[in-house]
Amino acid sequence: MKSSDLGGTFTLPNTSVTLHRMGYGAMQLAGQDGDKRVWGPPRDVPGAIAVLRETVAAGVNHIDTSDFYGPHVTNQLIRQALHPYSGDLVIVTKVGARRGPDGSWLHARSRQEIIGAVHDNLRNLGLDALHVVNLRLGGFSAPEDEPFEEPLTALAELKQQGLIQHLGLSTVSAQQLAQAQTITDIVCIQNLYNVAQRTDDEFIDALAASGIAYVPYFPLGGFSPLQSSALNQVAASLDATPMQVALAWLLQRSPNILLIPGTSSLHHLRENLSAAALELPDEALARLNRIGAVAA
C-alpha cells in the first residue's frame, strides 16, 4: 500500500479545472420504490447526507450526479449536504434522459427538453452555472449510431450564455466524439468500461493523447462468473475487496481515467476511496489483463 492521494490529479483539457482522480457517483443515494430503482428518497436521508459530507471531507472534489436520479433526489441531497459549495468542488451532471411514471428511463433530447433539464439541475443543485454537463446518448451500456446535433447544439448555446462551464459526452464512440468536436469543446467522456469490458481500450489511449478525461461507469458490470472468480482470487491474494481491485486497476490503466464509484454506505465509501492507495503488483495486473483478453 502507498499513501493515498485519491489517485493523483487530472486537469480537464484547456481549463483550470484540476480534479482528484478518485471521485464519487451519487446515483445510489436515491431510493427504490418496488421495481422502480433510483427512485424517490433514500430510506436513510441523514445517512445519505453523511456519505456526501464525508466524501468531500476525504478530499474528493468531483461528484457525478443527474437530475433524473430520483428524479431530482440526488441533486437535492447534494444541495442539502454541501451547499454552499467549496470553491474546488466540481459537480458533474448529465442530461438527455427523463424518467417515466413507471420508473423507466426515456430519451429526452429535444432542444426544449435539454434546456428544461439544465434549468432543473441549476435549481435543484443551487448553482448559477453548471460545472460540467454530460450529454447522455447511446443505450444502456453501448453507443448507438444516432443524431445528436440538436441536443449538443442546445448545450453549446447554454454554455455561451454562461449557464454551463464545460461539456462532456456519455456512451459515445470515437466517431461521435469527432463529430461533437465540430460543434463544441468536449472535456470528458463517460462510457462503460472495466477490467472485463474492454471495448474502449483504443478509445481511452486516443483520449489520453488528446488530454481528454475518460470516466468509466459500472466498474463491476458485465462480468461472467469465470471473470468474477478470477477477480475474486486476485482480491483475496491482496487482502482487498473485488471493488478495490477493480478500481485500482482502472487507476493504473491510464492517467486520464477518473473514477466515480457510488455507494450509500459510509463503510463502502471508505473502502472505495482506499482503493487509490492499492498498488497492484505486476503478477496481479497480468492476471487481471487476461480477464479482458478472454472477454475480447
Q: Which residues are catalytic?
A: 69
Helix (H) or strand (E) holding 92: strand 90-95
Cell (9 digits) for 78: 447534494
Q: 84: cis peptide before it, omega within 30°?
A: yes
**Residue 69 contacts by C-beta under 8 Å, 6 or more apart in sequence?**
26, 27, 29, 30, 38, 75
Cβ(26)–Cβ(74) below 8 Å: yes
DSSP H helices, 83-126, are 111-125
Helix (H) or strand (E) holding 189: strand 188-192
Q: What's the rounded Cα separation, in Å, for the pair 137 and 168?
A: 11
